[in-house]
């Protein structure tokens, strides 16, 4: 369905199918607290694909940096994550029932994974050098963002919770990116290793 945005001057177009609008209106109507809208975010790019999140925003919890989008048929506006406008523009959201424990929302994103030269260079290194090296351990690395001279990454699969993650970061990831990609001086691992469930190296317990 058609949309129009308000707020910061960052044009964004979203497309919701009729089925998606109907389901989301149903979800909003069933909330126990007043709903300000739905928040659309880009939460990562695991294994070379976009990962999206559409969540409920209660009244008073709006983010000032988001762009408000009115979608025809939706009972509430959609707040699009401001920092990822370029990667969410043109997104199509559809709904298909897949069972009681699954959301059923599907996202078709027409945008390239990255638009900046540094991001594209790091993504290529991850795909061609780093991920093939750790694939045998069931792990993978994803680039989250580049801000200034810092690249933020996330480790998944066998890497999450791995006791050797710091070693992997220092000896592998940093060495492959810093000094190779112009302007990048730091690599930060944003993985929550404490909640890892499938580490390929278990630290010794004392």
Q: What CATH superfamily classification does 117-195 receive? A: Fe-S cluster assembly (FSCA) (3.30.300.130)
| Fold matches, 3-108 and 117-195 | no
pLDDT at residue 5 is higher than 80: no
The reported pLDDT for the residue numbered 37 is 98
pLDDT at residue 196 is higher than 50: no
Bridge-partner residues for 188, per DSSP? Answer: 152
Query: Mean pLDDT throughout 4-20?
Result: 76
| Residues 189, 206: Cα–Cα separation, whole Å | 26
Contact between 39 and 57 (Cβ < 8 Å): yes
Tell me the pLDDT tens digit for each residue of 29-74.
999 999 999 999 998 887 778 999 999 999 999 999 999 999 999 9
| Residues 95, 104: Cα–Cα separation, whole Å | 5
- CA-to-CA dists, residue 3 to 16, 161, 200, angstroms: 9, 42, 46
| Residues 94, 67: Cα–Cα separation, whole Å | 21
pLDDT at residue 192 is higher than 60: no
pLDDT at residue 184 is higher than 80: yes
Domain layout of the chain by residue ranges: 3-108, 117-195
| Residues 93, 78: Cα–Cα separation, whole Å | 12
Contact between 117 and 134 (Cβ < 8 Å): no
CATH 1.10.10.410 holds for 3-108: no
């Amino acid at each position: 369905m058609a949309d129009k945005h308000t707020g910061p001057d960052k044009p964004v177009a979203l497309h919701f199918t009729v089925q998606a609008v109907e389901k989301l209106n149903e979800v909003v109507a069933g909330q126990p607290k007043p709903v300000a809208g739905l928040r659309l975010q880009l939460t990562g790019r695991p294994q070379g694909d976009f990962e999206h999140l559409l969540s409920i925003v209660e009244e008073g919890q709006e983010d000032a940096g988001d762009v408000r989008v009115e979608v025809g048929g939706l009972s509430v506006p959609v707040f699009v994550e401001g920092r990822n406008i370029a990667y969410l523009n043109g997104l199509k959201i559809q709904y298909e029932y897949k069972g009681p424990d699954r959301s059923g929302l599907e996202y078709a994103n027409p945008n390239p994974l990255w638009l900046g030269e540094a991001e594209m260079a790091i993504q290529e290194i991850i795909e061609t050098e780093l991920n093939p090296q750790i694939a045998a351990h069931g792990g993978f690395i994803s680039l989250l963002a580049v801000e200034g001279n810092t690249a933020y990454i996330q480790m998944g699969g066998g890497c999450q919770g791995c006791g050797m993650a710091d070693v992997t970061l220092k000896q592998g990831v940093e060495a492959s990116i810093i000094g190779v990609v112009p302007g990048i001086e730091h690599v930060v691992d944003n993985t929550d290793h404490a909640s890892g469930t499938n580490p390929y190296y278990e630290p010794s317990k004392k």
